[in-house]
């Protein structure tokens, strides 16, 4: 089925650049170096990360994106402006997705001021190269370590509190610069917890039948967490229903997710995007044949 889809001709969607940190290159999971040859890492570290998952999903959907990433661990957009603007500005981009540090400001957790200023400055630089560039900011997920541990800035508050504060910061950054939209990854994580797909607190054990969206440090994402991130990005950017990839989607198969887990995460991504008004009414789910190594090899 995938081979027939690709043979029918991919629709060219242009270039897309992901600017971020470890939340983009998928630290702490096998996603970090997954299909690194399918994307261009501008830092030449050979990382695939979430951009490679996005590339995989779009290829399976019959779309042709040239995918790039420019990442650095533990930094915000301000760091990229100071150190990588020459790399980022070396060419015009059709689409750019960017995000800042996980707490909005590493020195002032929860304060959106630095994010707002850096998004504006980066957007101006990107539009100087292509006035029609589609710019998105990705609202990241709440951190369990900062919520459930005494040293955390959100300690004593529910996990939803950090998600709300981070989303509010990105909403403000987007509103300060016309034409920028917010991709609700953190909200999708919370939705996965509320609907019983994911466990909300890794420190008290993972409930049976649920996944842990965080990796070992309860800070970065697990394979499940990054997979959900990529599904939300896919739906938000392309406008396509993530569920159309099917439970036997190739990257989920290759990364060891079960079909029910893939289907549940696709449903969460769809529901979040539908709630945001990004996607229209529900469409009938396609009948997708079981995944096989031969089918997935067609992605290369």
Query: What pLDDT was estimated at residue 193?
Result: 98
Query: What pLDDT was estimated at residue 8?
Result: 40
Find out whether 197 and 265 touch, Cβ atoms under 8 Å: yes
Q: How far apart are CA 272 and CA 81, in angstroms?
A: 31
Q: How far apart are the first and last CA of the chain?
A: 15
Q: What is the pTM of this model?
A: 0.93
Pull the structure tokens for residue 84. 């990588």
CATH superfamily ID and name for 2-297: SGNH hydrolase (3.40.50.1110)
pLDDT tens track, the chain, 300 positions: 344 343 344 566 899 999 999 999 999 999 999 999 999 999 999 999 999 999 999 999 999 999 999 999 999 999 999 999 999 999 999 999 999 999 999 999 999 999 999 999 999 999 999 999 999 999 999 999 999 999 999 999 999 999 999 999 999 999 999 999 999 999 999 999 999 999 999 999 999 999 999 999 999 999 999 999 999 999 999 999 999 999 999 999 999 999 999 999 999 999 999 999 988 655 545 545 555 666 677 665
Pull the structure tokens for residue 200. 């909300």
Query: What pLDDT was estimated at residue 252?
Result: 97
Query: What pLDDT was estimated at residue 297?
Result: 72
């Amino acid at each position: 089925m995938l081979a027939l889809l690709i043979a029918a001709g991919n629709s060219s969607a242009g270039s897309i650049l992901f600017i971020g940190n470890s939340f983009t290159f998928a630290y702490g999971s096998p996603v970090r170096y997954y299909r690194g040859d399918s994307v261009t890492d501008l830092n030449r570290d050979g990382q695939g990360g979430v951009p490679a998952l996005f590339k995989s999903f779009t290829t399976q959907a019959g779309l042709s994106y040239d995918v790039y990433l420019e990442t650095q661990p533990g930094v915000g957009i301000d760091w990229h402006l100071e150190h990588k603007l020459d790399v980022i500005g070396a060419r015009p981009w059709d689409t750019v997705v960017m995000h800042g540090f996980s707490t909005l400001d590493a020195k002032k957790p929860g304060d959106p001021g630095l994010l707002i200023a850096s998004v504006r400055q980066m957007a101006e630089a990107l539009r100087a190269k292509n006035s029609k560039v589609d710019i998105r900011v990705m609202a990241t997920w709440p951190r369990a370590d900062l919520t459930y541990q005494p040293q955390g800035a959100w300690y004593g508050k529910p996990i939803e509190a950090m998600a709300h504060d981070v989303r509010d910061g990105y909403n403000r950054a987007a509103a300060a610069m016309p034409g920028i939209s917010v991709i609700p990854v953190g909200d999708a994580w919370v939705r996965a917890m509320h609907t019983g797909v994911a466990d909300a607190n890794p420190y008290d054990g993972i409930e049976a039948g649920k996944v842990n969206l965080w990796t070992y440090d309860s800070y970065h994402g697990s394979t499940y967490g990054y997979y959900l991130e990529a599904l939300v990005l896919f739906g938000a950017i392309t406008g396509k229903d993530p569920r159309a990839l099917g439970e036997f989607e190739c990257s989920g198969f290759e990364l060891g997710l079960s079909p029910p887990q893939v289907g549940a995460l696709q449903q969460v991504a769809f529901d979040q995007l539908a709630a945001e008004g990004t996607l229209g009414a529900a469409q009938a789910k396609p009948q997708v044949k079981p995944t096989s190594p031969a089918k997935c090899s067609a992605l290369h």
